Structure 1
């Protein structure tokens, strides 16, 4: 557990990759979490199989103990590569309502262009992988095919079990596709190519994961797509006969200081406002932006401009949003470390206040580049692609320390006011007040609700204080 004294956050390293190469390393894609607190993710390398000296990647699970203080690492699948299996998963996973995992592998398969897979528990303590779809070959001479290649983002699942995803290559123009896989009554899935992106023209080209609204419309980002090859927001709008119409909603302009290169996926709040990130722009360090959902094109609003001289910058993934509209994300780099986790606190007037929650220093990991996930008490989980004990990345958990102020009267503590309730508390933290120079030290206890400190009770008012003591929380997160 590592305390960042400047930002009042605590980072717990749950797992260090790289001790056993067969177990995989270099985490890619977002984590997901189930109702029991189990974490699931994919690794791009490692998982030695069939004599392959580099490994083709792994699907893993981290299962917590009853207190959530330690985790057991389990390999659910080691990719074999070749025509019989996928290779190099980078997009993360999604879980169906029955606990079955779905994901993509960027390589391997019968066309050597990637796969969509299902991973289901077999009742004997293991997991069985089924390839649902093999993308067809995309010859190097053209890079084109009929369905897409290199699926590098996570899938989404509709209410009827249809899977939607993207590829970052292939398709009729070589610039990737949006596709769906619909379960059939007799078993198997029916593939449908919903859209072919234009030919790749910019650098750092990547088609992100998808977002579906309550009407079944789909939104996404292309990092180097659009009119200026510097990023695009797009929508696929569904009609009554379940056909989709593609619309380019916004092309990021390639001008000095304009936001460019939107990475990752969008997220939507209850009002239909979407949020995403750009890797560059603003003061050249990236931005968080908002964009309204719907068919009408609009201009994004910059919510925050990162500054490489202060806190984190250059986000490589999108944000998540909590129940009150606060935004949380990771950035690959930081002014005082090797990337970090940030918070944008939503204010009543619709503005956001930036806080650097934690900056990585190598011991807890380096260069986080994936989206976070939160548990029911708002602890944040994520991965770093490098660093940690063995240098091959980590799984981490972030909790935000509460803050409070002591109210004094006549040299004693009469009240303690919570100024920041923190987040992610699994049990009440210990409250310590700095000693009195001229008398007894005050004492207090905390009460938590939904992972935050809701109140503090003064149990001993102390005596002889010349000024208000500092209130210190020692957490378990």
Structure 2
């Protein structure tokens, strides 16, 4: 409980505008200086606006998903920015369109980050570089945003993993978890590792072998007390796997093996949608071997192929998906599209409808590695009067009651996790009800026809 409460003290709220959410993202190349762009588009697609051209000053090519913050800015990392052109940690202010390089990476510090930053319960940012450090095999690092101090926590060496290609996540037990693409003690197939901020202890939790999956990419996803992830290769046919890891017992369980026809070589994250369904994409395989979009139902271990990619609409998907408040899944394709610079797409699980919503080009940017986030920057957020909608108890174990005390029922209540990702949506039909949430800190956005407000929840799991 102490970890969850500390996490909530520095919990970064989703900051909505009056009534409009947007999708924010980055292209890794193109724009005025050829090094990529930052952009925003309407939820649902359309009205893409370029906000920044990378390549000016210390900025470089962005390949990691943004980490939103209150106060009109977000954090991110590049692979070629900074003083030494090895990558940097930056802050981008949307109000002033100001890019600020906070730390310049070099060979010793670690460089070439490919996954997003993560805000942990201690207020620090954690991340991985895929190269550099004492052994040249990448590092796990901590960055203090209040002092801009960068600290190497672990330098990968082979036996403890090497060449990570993703980010980290903090589980309910307080430990930081991540993966490396190679290394370990089971044939070099990569590892799942943990870092305990309380004891400064690094531990290899699991070493992958070919039979249970080989070369994990991306970032683990926590759901229902487990960590879920993907491997690029290995499994029953060598085409990659979907797995579940239990942090309480360090137990790995293979849940699904790709076979080529239904996808191959996944290189992204699993994204939690509604009702325990995970979404992701495989970078290869499918009917035309250009990759597939798929879902996995954690309730019954059901895999469903949702869409086969082709070169004209976009191919080789690999970034983090975004499950947005409109119920759609948004993602990026690294290649293909109308201009052969990749694309951005949406998928509606209700209607089984796929749509390309932007084709990358060199003018506005293209070749996206990173995923999108749903976010709306504002100066502040209005706290709901507890006499209007009351949530109790708070903190809670897992189940939280709500009661609409006065006035009309809200149109909807949306629950967001600390990264601003939609966790669940509730449409109240009575004045009382209940939510059931995993341990963590959440922002609840309560919408009426003419207003919006919010509350914060702490779920301890105890």
Structure of greater Rg:
1
Going from structure 1 to structure 2, the CA distance change for 1:195 and 1:28 (only over 3 Å counts) comes to same
1:177 deviates by 0.3
Alignment of 1:100-249 (within 5 A): 100-122=124-146, 126-136=147-157, 138=158, 145=159, 147-172=160-185, 173-184=187-198, 188-198=199-209, 205-215=215-225, 217-238=226-247, 242-249=248-255
CA contact (8 A) 2:73 2:93 kept: yes
The whole-number CA distance in structure 2 between the counterparts of 1:200 and 1:243 is 20
The whole-number CA distance in structure 1 between the counterparts of 2:315 and 2:110 is 33
The whole-number CA distance in structure 2 between the counterparts of 1:98 and 1:163 is 11
Segments of 5+ residues of structure 2 without an aligned counterpart are 1-37, 379-444, 451-462
CA contact (8 A) 1:331 1:339 kept: yes
CA RMSD of superposed structures (Å): 3.1
The whole-number CA distance in structure 1 between the counterparts of 2:173 and 2:241 is 29
1:377 deviates by 7.9
1:201 deviates by 12
1:158 deviates by 2.1
The whole-number CA distance in structure 2 between the counterparts of 1:264 and 1:8 is 22
Going from structure 1 to structure 2, the CA distance change for 1:258 and 1:270 (only over 3 Å counts) comes to closer
Which of 114, 130, 135 is equivalent to 1:90? 114
Runs of at least 4 residues of structure 1 off by over 4 A? 1-4, 199-203
Going from structure 1 to structure 2, the CA distance change for 1:149 and 1:361 (only over 3 Å counts) comes to same
Going from structure 1 to structure 2, the CA distance change for 1:377 and 1:78 (only over 3 Å counts) comes to closer
Alignment of 1:346-385 (within 5 A): 346-347=349-350, 351-376=351-376
1:324 deviates by 4.7
Aligned to 1:465: none
TM-score by length of 1: 0.65
Aligned to 1:17: 54
The whole-number CA distance in structure 2 between the counterparts of 1:318 and 1:3 is 17
Going from structure 1 to structure 2, the CA distance change for 1:202 and 1:275 (only over 3 Å counts) comes to closer
Aligned to 1:339: 342
Going from structure 1 to structure 2, the CA distance change for 1:202 and 1:268 (only over 3 Å counts) comes to closer
Which of 89, 105, 115 is equivalent to 1:59? 89
The whole-number CA distance in structure 2 between the counterparts of 1:281 and 1:329 is 17
1:237 deviates by 2.2
Aligned to 1:290: 295
1:273 lines up with 2:297 in the alignment: no
Segments of 5+ residues of structure 1 without an aligned counterpart are 50-54, 139-144, 379-449, 456-477
1:308 deviates by 2.5
1:316 lines up with 2:327 in the alignment: no
By relative contact order (CA 8 Å, sep 6+), the higher-ranking structure is 2
1:259 lines up with 2:263 in the alignment: yes
Task: Describe the superposition over 1:359-405 as per-residue Cα deviations: whole angstroms up to 9, x where unpaired.
Answer: 12211101112211110489xxxxxxxxxxxxxxxxxxxxxxxxxxx
Task: Describe the superposition over 1:249-282 as per-residue Cα deviations: whole angstroms up to 9, x where unpaired.
Answer: 111113xx43111121001124111111011233
Task: Describe the superposition over 1:426-455 as per-residue Cα deviations: whole angstroms up to 9, x where unpaired.
Answer: xxxxxxxxxxxxxxxxxxxxxxxx9x9x89
TM-score by length of 2: 0.67
CA contact (8 A) 1:263 1:318 kept: no
CA contact (8 A) 1:312 1:333 kept: yes
Task: Describe the superposition over 1:303-330 as per-residue Cα deviations: whole angstroms up to 9, x where unpaired.
Answer: 2222333x23321224111235310111
CA contact (8 A) 1:167 1:176 kept: yes
CA contact (8 A) 2:179 2:190 kept: yes
Going from structure 1 to structure 2, the CA distance change for 1:318 and 1:121 (only over 3 Å counts) comes to closer
1:97 deviates by 4.3
Q: Secondary structure at the match of 1:27?
A: coil
Aligned to 1:36: 71
